[in-house]
Amino acid sequence: MNLHELARHTAQEFAKAYGRPPRWLAAAPGRVNVIGEHTDYNDGFVLPMAIERYTVIAADRSAAAAPLIHLRSTSPGLDAKLPAREKSGDLDSGGVAIDLRQPLKPWPKGSWVNYPAGVLAGFLARGTDPGPFDALIHSTVPLGGGLSSSAALEVATATLLEAITGQKLDPVEKALLCQKAEHEYAGMPCGIMDQFISVLGQADHLLLLDCRSRKPELVPMTDPSVAILITNTNVKHELTGGGYAQRRAQCETAAKILGVPSLRNATADALERAKPKLEEVVYRRARHVIGEIERTVHAAAGVRAANWPTVGQLMYASHRSLREDYEVSCAELDAVVDIAQSIGPGGGVIGCRMTGGGFGGCTVALVETTAVESISRKIAADYKGRTGIEATMFVSRPAGGATVLKP
């Protein structure tokens, strides 16, 4: 489903649920990170792109007398995550009601309602009140697959609230408000990459983001001879985010011992000199981050120059470092990267790595466009053979960021 079809579908679902057409339609994309993993919360560089998978929200002013915001979802995963006790009595087929007379607070951990509720809290905190409305959410971003389904939901909510209130936020402020929702409502101490790319993505461009200055730089990627192939391993080993928070803390420890505000300010030489003072695991975490920041800047230059073999090698190096030093890969991600690497340049694979936070989720591969079919077949078959699991695969061009659509 392209964005246009998805928007039409969501509008139809809204009409089915609420008995009238929506007045607003807001969409925000998921993302894949080409390179620059676990660098954003170290003030480093990231190089993501928005993908042609979106979360769309259709909405209209509420017809009810009470000041309630009604949220429904027709995305199976979003409904399944909703504990029964959260379901509001006045919504017969599921969904939730947020009562604007009550102070907002987080839903139980793990509920998807935390994403829209956290963004709403951010708008209310800055004095921007959308008033009561009815909404229906539909998403084609795979849930929990490392493609930022949560950022897509946050940014789609923020885009909808901008449309309802007529108050457009500055894009950086909007991304930060959504990040805060994730920290305070979803309890995930994420960096800023996912929300930034969902807000600022541009068709046919990667986004080189300096997470220290927050300065975004668009990197054109229009060479039709290469494609980005995303493979979902369909496994998720860690749901709580504990491993993520632990990595973050280890990076902070390393920076403290090195005497720098963040690992962005550290060099490989300084790290070697400080090695005796660092716990071995903390040393390896820092080695990943410092190397990855450098790789990301080189990869962006490689994309600009259409130097694909260099970009591919940097992607493999990134994966090795994430597997060995950062320890956020898993057997299934390693299997896909290994299969891709064995297909090699002869079979059209230029580079491959895990993408996103890790512990499952997706890989991103840079491949020759003409070989997409044969590569997909080979990866799917070999992955099934090695793990017994069906992978899901798709190609995406770099897509545009969040947008308001005509209902």
Q: Does 45 bind ligand GLA (CB under 6 A)?
A: no
Sheet holding 349-355, edge to edge: 349-355, 360-368, 226-236, 392-395
Among 116, 191, 351, 398, binds ligand GLA (CB under 6 A): 191
Choose between 98 and 314: whose C-beta lies nearer to ligand GLA. 314
Contacts (Cβ under 8 Å, ≥6 apart) of 187: 106, 109, 114, 241
- Residue 40 CB, shortest distance to ligand GLA, in Å, is 5
Choose between 96 and 147: whose C-beta lies nearer to ligand GLA. 147
Choose between 193 and 330: whose C-beta lies nearer to ligand GLA. 193
- Residue 392 CB, shortest distance to ligand GLA, in Å, is 19
- Residue 267 CB, shortest distance to ligand GLA, in Å, is 21
For every residue of 321-332, DSSP letters joined together read HHHHTS----HH
Choose between 178 and 405: whose C-beta lies nearer to ligand GLA. 178
Choose between 60 and 194: whose C-beta lies nearer to ligand GLA. 194
Q: Which stretch binds ligand GLA (CB under 6 A): 34-42, 59-67, 333-341, 370-378?
A: 34-42
Contacts (Cβ under 8 Å, ≥6 apart) of 320: none
Among 357, 360, 398, 401, binds ligand GLA (CB under 6 A): 357
Q: How far apart (Å, rounded) are the C-alpha atoms in residues 322 and 336? A: 14
| Burial profile 244-260: b = 16 or more Cβ within 10 angstroms, e = fewer | beebbebbebbbebbee
- Residue 272 CB, shortest distance to ligand GLA, in Å, is 24
Residue numbers 94-153 binding ligand GLA by CB under 6 A:
none
In 3-state terms, the chain is what percent helix, strand and coil (to 5)? 45, 25, 30
- Pairing of β 226-236 and β 360-368: antiparallel
Active site residue 194: yes
Q: Does 154 bind ligand GLA (CB under 6 A)?
A: no
Q: Does 194 bind ligand GLA (CB under 6 A)?
A: yes
Q: How far apart (Å, rounded) are the C-alpha atoms in residues 273 and 83? A: 51
Q: Which stretch binds ligand GLA (CB under 6 A): 49-57, 65-73, 187-195, 389-397?
A: 187-195
Among 14, 18, 41, 283, binds ligand GLA (CB under 6 A): 41
CA-based nearest residue to 27, from 180, 114, 173, 141: 141
Q: How far apart (Å, rounded) are the C-alpha atoms in residues 45 and 36? A: 6
Choose between 49 and 193: whose C-beta lies nearer to ligand GLA. 193
Choosing from 40, 43, 60, 194, the catalytic residue is 194
DSSP 399: B
Q: Which stretch binds ligand GLA (CB under 6 A): 94-102, 136-144, 191-199, 273-281?
A: 191-199
Q: How far apart (Å, rounded) are the C-alpha atoms in residues 22 and 61? A: 9
Q: Site size for ligand GLA, by CB under 6 A?
A: 10
Q: Which stretch binds ligand GLA (CB under 6 A): 35-43, 86-94, 163-171, 329-337?
A: 35-43
Among 13, 40, 60, 134, binds ligand GLA (CB under 6 A): 40
Q: How far apart (Å, rounded) are the C-alpha atoms in residues 125 and 123? A: 5
C-alpha distances in Å from residue 134, one per residue of 24, 100, 118, 239, 403: 10, 13, 17, 30, 19
Tokens of residue 311, six digits:
């970009």
Residue pair 4/322 in contact (Cβ under 8 Å)? The answer is no
Q: Does 190 bind ligand GLA (CB under 6 A)?
A: yes
Choose between 251 and 372: whose C-beta lies nearer to ligand GLA. 251
Among 38, 174, 287, 353, binds ligand GLA (CB under 6 A): 38
Burial environment of residue 64 by CB neighbours within 10 A (0 to 12, 13 to 18, 19 or more): exposed
Residues that are catalytic: 194
What residues line the site for ligand GLA (CB under 6 A)? 37-38, 40-41, 190-191, 193-194, 356-357
